[in-house]
Structures are given as C-alpha cells and as structure tokens.
Amino acid sequence: MPAAVLAAGMLGFGALGHASGLSIGLTTATSFFIYALPGQVVFVEMVALGASGFAVALAATLTAARFLPMTLTLVPQIPQRDRGRSLYASAHFISMTSWAVMMRDFARIPASRRMAYFTGFGMTCWAVSTPATLLGYLVAGHVPTPVTIGLVMLNPLFFLLSFTEVRARASRLALLIGGLSGPIVYGWAPGWSILICGLIGGTAAFFLDLALGQEKPVQANSDSNEMGARDGNTL
C-alpha cells in the first residue's frame, strides 16, 4: 500500500513536470536522484520560473533538511554490526513514508532483521517512483488538473495518517494544534504559515506531551522476542 500511494503521487508529479514544460528525462531523473516529492515540486517550480542552477539546488536542499532528524532517529535503532558502508547507499531510501513506517514497526521487529526490513521496504518504494513518474508524464493532458494535484498530495496525506501511529499522543496533538492554527496564521502570513504552524504545533505538542507524562512504549510481541533470541544464538 505505501508503494502504491507513492506511485500515485509520482504519477501526479510526472504530469506536473509535463505541464511545467520540463523534459521527460529531467522530470524522471528527479524521482531517481532526489526521491522526495516536496523537493521535486520545488525543483520543477523554480526551473519553470527560470531560476539559476544555484538557487534551484539550494531550495531543493533546504526542503531536504527534514531528512537529517529522520536519519538521526532511525539509524540508532539498527544494530551496529549492520551499519557498514552500504548504509550510505541505503540512506537514499529514507523517505517520509519509509521513516514513518519504520518508526512504527521497528519496535515489533527483532533488531537483527531491521536493516533487511528497511532496505527491502525502501527499495520497493523507490523502485516504483521512476516508472510512475514516467507514466505520469506520458499521460499528462489526459488527466484533469485537480486530479493531478490530488495525486501529488496523496503521499503527504498517507504520511500524516502513518505518522499518527509513531507516537500517537504527541503526533495527534501536533496535528490538531497545527491544523487549528493554520487558517488563522494563513490570514496574516500566507507565505510563512506552514513553517509557523509547524513550529507552534510541534513545540506546543512536545511540552503538552511532557506535562501529560510518558506513554508506555510499544513492546515487541513474544514471538518476535523468541525469534530474535534464536537469531542471536545462531549468529
């Protein structure tokens, strides 16, 4: 399902690249190399506006700043013995979808199998992105604009729904506060509303979560524990 949702988003992005006047090669290459819809959308918009190469690269890089905290919270949950040089290549498969699913599922997966699970999951999602972008570019013009935009937004929506399961109370508080403050802030600062609401919602949710006390952590089930023990004995 995550790969299907991602493919739908890339279909919409492919159509967006076509509508913005980018070549099929450049549009498809962004899914292969950037592999992040927000950065890809910014890339397309700035290229279409005729921005300089430096400005385009800087803007796309800034949109990817979120991957730093994602990586810092994900990698420590992978055993040290599995963090070889291949980890640098595997980091390319970190997306908002794979991160949310890993943060949700790692607690239920034996540590010795987490790297394999992440690599298989991440590669599957990444592998569908480029063909889906190509297909979206080719069918552009046959899909209404509202449908194209809806497909692009489908992936962030799936991320939000998955994110609420990572740490339920804090995540839902952040979404609730950010969502309620969004229309208000947009009225006087439309260009900065997302950033401001993110800071307000995230910060307020963090302190509210602390005030309410720590949630009980999710424990791996007994079958997973026994499986992990067997794996450890075998190794």
Distance between CA atoms of 118 and 189, rounded to whole angstroms? Answer: 39
Res 235: pLDDT: 39
Over residues 199-231, the pLDDT tens digits come to: 888 888 889 888 887 655 555 444 444 444 444
Residue 25 has pLDDT above 90, yes or no: yes
Residues in CB range of 131: below 8 A, 6 or more apart? 7
pLDDT at residue 215, as a whole number: 59
pLDDT at position 234 over 80: no
pTM of the model: 0.69
What is the rounded radius of gyration, in angstroms, for the C-alpha atoms of the chain? 20
Exposed, middle or buried by CB within 10 Å (0-12, 13-18, 19+), for 60?
A: buried
Neighbours of 227 (CB within 10 A): 16
User: What's the rounded Cα separation, in Å, for the pair 83 and 149?
Assistant: 38
Contact between residue 95 and residue 163 where contact means Cβ atoms under 8 Å apart: no
Percent of the chain past pLDDT 90, that is, above it, reads: 19
**Averaged confidence pLDDT in the chain:** 81
Question: Based on the number of CB atoms within 10 Å of its own CB, is 208 exposed (0-12), middle (13-18) or buried (19 or more)?
Answer: middle
* Token representation of residue 84: 């070889």
Average pLDDT value for residue range 84-103:
86
So where are the chain's domains? 2-166
Q: For 112-136, how does the pLDDT look when each residue is reduced to its tens digit (9 = 90+)?
A: 999 999 999 999 999 999 999 999 8
Q: Which residue has the higher pLDDT, 156 or 47?
A: 47
Contact 74, 191 (CB under 8 A): no
How do residues 165-182 score in pLDDT, each as one tens digit?
A: 555 677 778 878 888 888
- The token pair at 177 is 């506060």
Helix, strand, coil percentages, rounded to 5, for the chain: 80, 0, 20
CB 223 within 8 A of CB 187: no
